[in-house]
Chain A
Amino acid sequence: EAGVAQSPRYKIIEKRQSVAFWCNPISGHATLYWYQQILGQGPKLLIQFQNNGVVDDSQLPKDRFSAERLKGVDSTLKIQPAKLEDSAVYLCASSARQTPPYGYTFGSGTRLTVV
């Protein structure tokens, strides 16, 4: 089974510029997550989708971050304008609707550097 695909793998931008990340989850996985992992910390959830609807975006800085999941498959996460503190790895994950909640799979992430 193919894993969670993310692109680009690396991105360097200047502050105040915009950037977008793409995620393709495992086929059939209804739930998609975006996590932010700042260097030296554990990942923190930004947003969770169930199919193409938002389940939880309470930790998403909505003044600069946006995300969408059209047609309940691929997802994009955008930052506009970027700040220095947005430098981090952005991890996408997906899971199937099952109990217990196993089958939670992560992509390899996008490392963003804001200079």
Chain B
Amino acid sequence: AQTVTQSQPEMSVQEAETVTLSCTYDTSENNYYLFWYKQPPSRQMILVIRQEAYKQQNATENRFSVNFQKAAKSFSLKISDSQLGDTAMYFCAFMRPSISSGSARQLTFGSGTQLTVLP
């Protein structure tokens, strides 16, 4: 079974500064997908960024980027130029590759990091 570990329950950052959230995972799969989701108080999970394990290039989405270290099974999220709207719970998630036409596509989540951006 896959496990996802987020060792930072809470973090804070000053507005406009950079912060990095850590995530490690454990799997015996070679191909898989990794995600960072943001959950504001509205409770809806919002996709921040995704990474395919077969791609060596780290994914970037505007102010969000990842540092994907496959051998170390590490997947950290860097937020640049932090904004007050970035305040939320952030979850790292793992998805196995499709194994059949039915495909599992189940997400395994970490326990989350509460990020607070300070004015």
Cα distance A76–B103 in the bound complex, in angstroms: 22
Q: Are B44 and A109 in contact (CB under 8 A)?
A: yes
Query: What is the total number of residues of chain A having a CB less than 8 Å from a CB of chain B?
Result: 29
Q: Which residues of B contact A72 (CB under 8 A)?
A: none
A95 to B105 CA separation, bound complex (whole angstroms): 9
Interface size on B, residues (CB 8 A): 25
A112 CB-CB contact with B under 8 Å = no
Q: Are A106 and B44 within 8 A (Cβ)? A: yes
Task: Tell me the complex Cα distance, A97–B110, Å.
Answer: 25
**B109, CB-defined interface residue at 8 Å:** yes
Contact with A along B82-112 (1 / 0, CB 8 A): 0000000001010100100111111111111
The distance in angstroms between the C-alpha atoms of A30 and B108, with both chains bound, is 20
Interchain Cβ contacts within 8 Å, total number: 60
Q: Is the interface of B mostly helix, strand, loop or mixed?
A: loop
Given contacts A31-B105, A42-B91, A45-B107, contact A89 B43 (CB under 8 A): yes
Spell out B's residues near A (CB within 8 Å). 4, 33, 42-45, 47, 50, 52, 91, 93, 95, 98, 101-112
Q: Could you list which residues of chain A lie within 8 angstroms of chain B, going by C-beta atoms?
A: 3, 31, 33, 35, 40-45, 48, 50, 55-56, 89, 91, 93, 95, 97, 99-102, 104, 106-109, 111
Of all chain B residues, the one with the shortest Cβ separation from A4 is B44
Q: Which residues of B contact A93 (CB under 8 A)?
A: 45
Residue pair B44, A101 in contact (C-beta under 8 Å): no
Contact across chains for A55 and B107 when beta carbons are under 8 A apart: no
